[in-house]
Structure 1
Amino acid sequence: MKRTLRTAVLTVGALIAALGLPAGAAHADTIAPRVDLRVLVVSDGGPSTAAIAAELDAAGMPYTEVDLTQAGRPVIDAGFLADTVDGRPRARFQAVVLPDDDPFPAGSAEMAALAAYERTYAVPQVDAYTYARPEAGLQYPVYGGYSGSVDGVRASVTAAGKEGPFGYLDGAVPFEDNDPTVGESYAYLSAPAAGADFTSYVDAPIPGSTNRGSLVGEYRHDGRRELVVTFVYNQHQQQFRLLARGIVEWMTGGVHLGASRNYFAVHVDDVFAADDRWNTTLNCTPGDVDCTDPNVTPDPIRMTPADVDHAVSWQDSENFTLDFAYNGASSVDHREDNGGADELADKLVADRDAFRWINHTYTHAFLGCVQDTTVVPWRCATDAAGSTQWMSRNEISDEIATNRAWGLAAGLPLDDGELVTGEHSGMKVLPQQPEDNPNLALALDDNDIAWLGSDNSREGAQRRVGPATTVPRHPMNVFYNAGRAAEQVDEYNWIYTSRAQGGSGICEDNPATTTCLAAPLDTATGYTGHIVPLETRIALGHVLANDPKPHFIHQSNLAEDRIAYPVLSGVLDGYAALFAEDTPVVNLRMKDIGVELQRRAAWRAALRDGGVTAYRVGDTVTVEAPEGVAVTATVPTGTTLAGTAFGEAYAGAVSGWTPATGTPLAFTLPASAAHD
């Protein structure tokens, strides 16, 4: 697959004319320009340009945005687009993104400057969302095409698209249809205009016809290239997420700063423990401080050896590894209560190498403030002086160290630097505990903890807690207190329906909640019919968004009805049906996710502070970044750095990180990336 950045070698006359230089300004018959690895995004406040900008942000790609709706914005002219550096002509942008094929008034000098710049430096232009018309290389839709809703349409990558920028896809590009009462996608489908040099990369069937119309295609004209996109989208829609990588690869020729991969990791909390069960009569979980009834007998949920066999078999079938966050005291207690027997622990230990393991503390104790449970909801206990009472440093350290020792004695393959506390406790929990337990950082230091799991729904950004850096985890809406589908649905109904329907009223009090129900789900069908598709779509959305953060569920979800698997398989099987084999799901352990997030934060800070310079001259890409910051780039296969192959293969290219050393990094592109 050839994905190249087209950089022109200019004649003296062309340079002088393009740059407005005086005669005699150039000193050679030909000279290769410098092309900065930066994208110009011209926006109009619409969702499509915002989506492309979000993709650049997520990948770690530098760009300059010019908002056409803002007064005082920069004027796009020849001086804005290009200049000279050390006597060499410089193109300041490797690609241009416009809201449509011509967002300026008729006769605009800015559009003329852009067109001249694109011709001079062979810089490609993306039309983020444009009407199908001859000026964009397409017939008007009234001539055998279509304009209207494409909700639920199954578009396809064409043969040219697979050979070109969308080769990482298997072929299908399904458009979402999440709500039949809401129009979610609008498009123009049309054939190339007569005589137009137009190649369609993604198309869809035209309603009422046997023909197909282009949704994404390349239009070559007047010495310029445009990627013409004729459907509207936002950054969260699956159809855009599937095509975003290809849009970026097309506009950059596969040579750019930043990288994008599709990640999925799943942490299973409370392994060896038994989770309390939701009570469908009380509408609460016995054992919680607000759920007490002397007539209710506890009925905990705990995996069995057969559940372990199923987990191993499922992993093998999906080529995927689960991370088991364990509590050793639960096995110790089980043996004490069962004459020394614990078949589950014996089975898990025997199969320990099939999984990754994370310290989840010994007893799953609450590591924050001392909880006063005499009131509902609970509050932090205070001493006579009114100061918060905290779990001590020694108590927290014992929870960490004892569980680690138990795991090592059992032969679990641990990474000593990883920790997930029970309920993410010890860290701030609003509203009761607005600050971290001050003893938590000390105990983490005592035990050399480097990576600490946190709840992404509470804290989406990484932060430091003493010596540790947090790894935010996405909670999945598969409840810890449900081992059976009917229990999950009953609790789901309680949480997300109105008080008049017998629910909690949370949605009435918080109307922004996105999972609210118009009516209760059928407990027999609601799980597979509603919850599984919704949770699958949410999790797959994270996977497609270059988001490495792990998801977490609980051991109860692998027991009894094994309700986690339909969601997990839905994500992995759905992914496999969309992507080519060279674009697999990346399944990292917790510390590696932490490193990835940490590197990204440092890289974005360097970009934001203007500390990164990157450009291409001929077949050499030069990158300068602050010493100690890891540089990330995506380049064609065969690219070398200091004579050594760079990066790891992914999606038809190579990408990766390399440390900045204080001197410029010079990447040598392969012959396959030669200029056209």
Structure 2
Amino acid sequence: MVKKNRMNRAAAAFAVAALVSVATPATAAETAVTPRIDLKVLVVDDGGSSVEAITAELRDTGVPYTRVALGDSGRPVIDAAFLADTVDGRPRARYQGVVLPNENPFGDGSAEMAALVAYETAYGIRQVDAYTWAHPGVGLEYTDNGGYSGQLDGVPAAVTAAGKAGPFGYLAGQVAFEDNSPLIPESYGFMGRPRPGYTSYLDAPAGSGRASLVGEYAHDGRSELVVTFGYNQHQRQFRLLARGIVEWLTQGVHLGRSRNYFAVHVDDVLAPDARWNKELNCTPGDYACPGGEGKESTVRMTAADAQYAVQWQQSKNFKLDMLFNAGSGEEWKAENGGTDALTAQLVADRAKFRWLNHTYTHPFLGCVQDTTTVPWTCVKNAQGAVSWMSRAEISAQIRDNVNWAAGKGIALDRTELVTGEHSGLKTLPQQDQDNPNLAGALADNGVKWTGSDNSREPEQRPVGAARTVPRHPMNVYYNTGTNAEMADEYNWIYTSRADGGSGVCEDNPATSSCLPAPLDTATGYLSYIVPQEARTALRHVLANDPRPHYVHQSNLAEDRTLYPVLDQVLDTYRALYAPSAPIVNQSMKDTGVELGRRAAWDKALAAGQVTAYRVGTTVTVKAPAGVLAPVTAPNGTKKQLLLGTSDFGTAYAGTRSAWAGPELLQSAITLKLPS
């Protein structure tokens, strides 16, 4: 248990006086100067998952922070000089907020805690207690007085009226704790009834009333955000609250920017996809399917499936990205009587989708493959050099698809491309480098953004003058058209050999785990796979992750297996969030730009090249030339122009934010906060 904080008023007053004598000038005129508060957070880390979660939120949204590891023998001492100094005759607070593992991780009588108390009091700095227990020292009654302590799995917590009016106004209200498995305890914590000075922001039923899980404790001239449950950075309850924790801590003014993104790429549109064979436990047509010759079967959308996609988009206010292979569609038409109702329907509804080039006939654009072995290998010439698809062939695949779209009146951004199977990019272990002809072919066709597989390459990287955009693969298989096929293939992959599966889960326990028993193929997809996949996708949505997800056209055909997953993601999201925080459904190019800006920003922060601070209602941000800064500020904030001001940023989740740079003839970003 965390020890009680026995800091009394007298000790706090003494500490404040000590800090002022060290960190501010001595004269009365100088002490009246408005202090400068640097836009950086101090994180005191005990190695626990709760502090780690908040740190991850700061890092992933671009908020600068300094981490002090309590267990590090060489760590700096947190004293008045560490926390504050004077710059250009003005008192400076080095940190705009403080994250602690609990209300006093240093122990009773600690000089470091006294220094923090004095600092927070002198400069109006807020403190987050990442995880503590319910007791009077944090403004709560003990749990035996109308509270609760124990497992919180499935607890129906809710944002209070004060929470909605305050830091959690972007939420619709409910914050149900995850309960993904009845066999595994997932959450533990304390709920306490508020005492005077404590304002509850999140509470839940306890006994005959309600008790607090998150709230603000104002006392002795300080404010603490008290969190009385444990969590990690991936759990939904934390993901829902993370934005509000940062907004409260920074008082709504900070570097960093966050959105909830979701885009879905539907690959292979117009092409048929090979079908899983449940007797062979492989996919005929795939080189690695022994015995599959003559048993090939395919899954392809129909005109009715295309019509349904339009209706679904309208009903969900969500747009799918159609990644098309026009040449494969032409081949299918030639083999099937010369007509293609699917293509006709999609072209008729072309304006209702977002389209993206997926190459003309979906060939492998890397090395020439030798598929006589499993796994395949790269063909080499007599001199031992790898044989590659040529620049001209790659370029034709890109160009021919673009020309087909132009002939059909389909609007296309020619700077975007996703190659079939992400081919042309390195494919380990067989192909350890990009096709050396790929970058030139991309440049020939003006391609600036090319999709990659996030499970292989999660970071953006250059391919010549172009850059990759990592995509999340969804566990809705390309080679299935029905729920039963999905469950059957899932069983093959995720059950033990004793249960009739491949045993891959036994051979690779670090990356997968075996199902306790095979799924019922009649019900397993909807009852087990869909909720699991929806949880995974929603976790990405709530983590400020702009990377698109990808599936295949087969998932919109036959049983239309994709829609139950998307329905659950969108419906759950919209039940959890207020209209002020809509899902951002953006193009691949926009995601590429976002990832590039983040990388440049992170590099500038790591190099110590960013200066940002607040003096009263004026915010100043300086970054290297060409690097845009992510900035979040309250509604009503204005950006200083050479002459006059303009409204700053765009609205999202109750604040305004933007990737910002200096205006003409300016060397820094200057914002004017509302009074």
| TM-score normalised by the chain length of structure 2 | 0.95
Residue aligned with 1:309, SS:
helix
Deviation at 1:293, TM superposition (A): 3.2
Instruction: State yes or no: 1:89 paired with 2:91.
Output: yes
AA matched with 1:199: T
Are 2:674 and 1:670 aligned? Answer: yes
Match of 1:189 among 183, 188, 191: 191
Match of 1:570 in 2: 568
Letter of the 2:78 partner, please give it: I
Distance 1:515 1:467 in 2: 40
Q: Secondary structure at the match of 2:441?
A: helix
Residues 406-440 of structure 1 deviation map (CA, whole Å, 9 limit, x = unaligned): 11111111000000000000111111111111111
Q: Contact between 1:19 and 1:79, CA under 8 Å: does it hold in 2? A: no
Q: Which residue of structure 2 aligns with residue 521 of structure 1?
A: 519
What's 1:228 paired with?
Answer: 226
1:37 aligned onto 2:46: no
Q: Where does residue 544 of structure 1 map in the other structure?
A: 542
Which residue identity does 1:201 align to in structure 2?
Y
- 2:287 aligns with one of 274, 286, 289: 289
Q: Does structure 1 retain, via aligned residues, the 8 Å contact 2:37–2:95?
A: yes
Corresponding residue number in structure 1 for 2:659: 657
Tell me what 1:173 maps to: 175
Contact 1:629/1:660 (CA < 8 Å) preserved in 2? no
- Structure 1 residue 202 and structure 2 residue 206: aligned? no
> Partners of 1:124 and 1:394 in 2: how far apart?
60
Q: Distance in 1 between matches of 2:288 and 2:54?
A: 47
CA distance in 2, matches of 1:518, 1:22: 64
> Match for residue 135 of structure 2?
133
Is 1:153 the counterpart of 2:155 in the alignment? yes
1:281–1:460 distance in 2 versus 1, CA, 3 Å: same
CA shift, 1:387, in A, is 1.4
- Determine the C-alpha separation between the residues in 1 that align with 2:513 and 2:330: 39
> Relative to 1, partners in 2 of residues 1:19 and 1:607: Cα closer, same or farther, differing over 3 Å?
farther
Does the CA contact (< 8 Å) of 2:51 and 2:101 recur in 1? yes
Q: Deviation per CA, 1:148-205, whole angstroms, max 9, x where unpaired?
A: 0000111000000000000000000010111211111001011023xx2110000011
Letter in 1 for 2:32: T
Deviations 1:329-363 (A, max 9, x none): 12211232234311110100000011111110011
Find 1:645's aligned residue among 625, 644, 647: 647
TM-score, L = length of structure 1: 0.95
- Which has the larger displacement, 342-351 or 507-516? 507-516
| 1:49 CA drift (Å) | 0.5
Among 591, 594, 602, the alignment partner of 1:593 is: 591
Letter in 1 for 2:672: T
Partner of 1:436: 434
Of all paired residues, the percent bearing the same amino acid is: 62
Question: What amino acid sits opposite 1:486 in the alignment?
Answer: A
Length, aligned pairs only? 655
Aligned partners of 1:483 and 1:91: how far apart in 2? 60
Aligned partners of 1:335 and 1:493: how far apart in 2?
34
1:657 to partner: Cα distance = 0.9
2:63 maps to which of 50, 61, 64 = 61
| 2:251 aligns with one of 253, 274, 278 | 253
1:197-232 Cα shifts (integer Å, max 9, x gaps): 1100000111xx221110000001111100000000
Conserved? CA contact 1:19–1:82, under 8 Å: no
CA distance in 2, matches of 1:88, 1:248: 26
What is the alpha-carbon root mean square deviation over aligned residues?
Answer: 1.5
Amino acid at match of 2:599: A
What are the Cα deviations for residues 303-337 of structure 1, in whole angstroms up to 9, with x where unaligned? 01111111111111111110010001122112322
User: Cα distance, 1:611 vs. partner?
Assistant: 0.7
SS in 2 for 1:583: coil
Structure 2: distance between partners of 1:515 and 1:307: 34
Name the CA distance, whole Å, in 1 between partners of 2:511 and 2:96.
Answer: 41
Give the CA deviation at 1:295. Answer: 6.3
Provide structure 1 residue ranges, at least 5 long, that are not aligned to the other structure.
Answer: 1-12, 672-676
One-letter identity of the residue aligned with 1:148: G
C-alpha separation between the residues in 1 aligned to 2:198 and 2:476?
47
Match runs of 1:79-118 below 5 Å: 79-118=81-120
The alpha-carbon deviation at position 72 of structure 1 amounts to: 1.1
1:614 to 612, 628, 636: 612
Point out where structure 2 has 5 or more consecutive residues left out of the alignment.
Answer: 1-14
**1:463 and 1:17, CA in 2 relative to 1: closer, same or farther beyond 3 A?**
closer
Q: CA deviation at 1:23?
A: 7.2
Quick check: 1:188–1:215 contact (8 Å CA) kept in 2?
A: yes
State how far apart, in whole Å, the 2-side matches of 1:584 and 1:550 are. Answer: 16
Question: CA 1:431 to 1:295, structure 2 compared with 1: closer, same or farther past 3 Å?
Answer: closer
Amino acid at match of 2:499: Q
How far 1:660 sits from its partner (Å)? 4.3
CA contact (8 A) 2:661 2:668 kept: no
Q: Which amino acid aligns with 1:570?
A: Q
The residue that corresponds to 1:241 in the other structure is 239
> Secondary structure of the equivalent of 2:415?
strand
Distance 1:198 1:179 in 2: 34
Asked if the contact 2:131/2:230 (under 8 Å) is kept, the reply is yes
**1:464 and 2:462 matched:** yes
Q: Which residue of 2 aligns with 1:475?
A: 473
Deviation at 1:17, TM superposition (A): 5.3
Shift of 1:144: 2.5
Cα deviation 1:250-287 (Å, max 9, x = unaligned)? 11111100111100000000000000000011000010
Equivalent of 1:558, from 547, 556, 559? 556
The answer to whether the Cα contact below 8 Å between 2:506 and 2:514 also exists between their aligned partners in 1 is: no
Shift of 1:28: 4.1
Of residues 385, 398, 401, the one that matches 1:400 is 398
